[in-house]
Amino acid sequence: MCDNKTVGVEVWACAADTEAIWLAGRDAWRDGPLKAATTVHFAAQQMLFQHGIDPNDALFIKLPEVVPPAQVLHSTSWRDAGPAVVLTYMAVVRAEGYVLEMWPDAAPVTTALPAETRKPRPHRAAQPPEYIRASDVLLHGLRHLKFQIGPWGDANIAAAMDRNWRRHLRELKPALATMYSERLVA
């Protein structure tokens, strides 16, 4: 008898200040399998709420003004993960002041990350990646956000990204632009 594949969701919550883009909690927040009555987007919003972030457009309760809002909640990818399909979201959280004041354990996402972890393993255009690292998922999500603030991106997402985000994404652009530049030979 075959089991059905379940659905999970992960949210990479990031904020930017003058120093860097920062990942909250050093990894994505994950949930699943989701209940059939729950939309994936709502599950992502719930995770933000559970971690002290105002999901902004969600109809939860009125939160104090000191609770940081999610400016963007953008779905960037999905992948098979054994018995589940995991849908990935990037959350852009507004930071007032320094991010480490908000999240003392936040991890910086700078040009050192792609330099240290190197490019993802290449795969053919019609094939899925064979091996996916957490750093690949995070950088791929940031690559999506970089695209969204460009000329062919989404005007609403671009408007929500402040100068700190834009500057740090610009610094990451060479690494993000070449993540998948290695061409396989026949």
Per-residue pLDDT reduced to its tens digit, 30-49: 999 999 999 999 999 999 99
Distance (Å, whole) CA 38 – CA 148: 27
Tell me what pLDDT residue 26 has.
Answer: 87
pTM here?
Answer: 0.93
**What is the dotted CATH code of the domain comprising 6-177?**
3.90.79
Tell me what pLDDT residue 66 has.
Answer: 67
The percentage of the chain sitting over the pLDDT mark of 90, rounded to a whole number, equals: 78
Tens digit of pLDDT for each residue in 113-152?
999 999 999 999 999 888 999 999 999 999 999 999 999 9
Whole-number average pLDDT of the chain: 92
Name the burial class of residue 70, with classes exposed (0-12), middle (13-18) and buried (19+) by CB atoms within 10 angstroms of its CB.
buried
Of residues 37 and 2, the one with the higher pLDDT is: 37
Q: Can you give the residue ranges of every domain in the chain?
A: 6-177
Distance (Å, whole) CA 179 – CA 28: 20
Beta strands in 32-119 (DSSP E): 70-81, 84-93, 107-109
Question: For the residues 65-86, what does the mean pLDDT come to?
Answer: 90
Specify the DSSP class assigned to residue 23. Answer: E
Q: Is 52 left (phi over 0), alpha (psi -120 to 50) or beta?
A: left
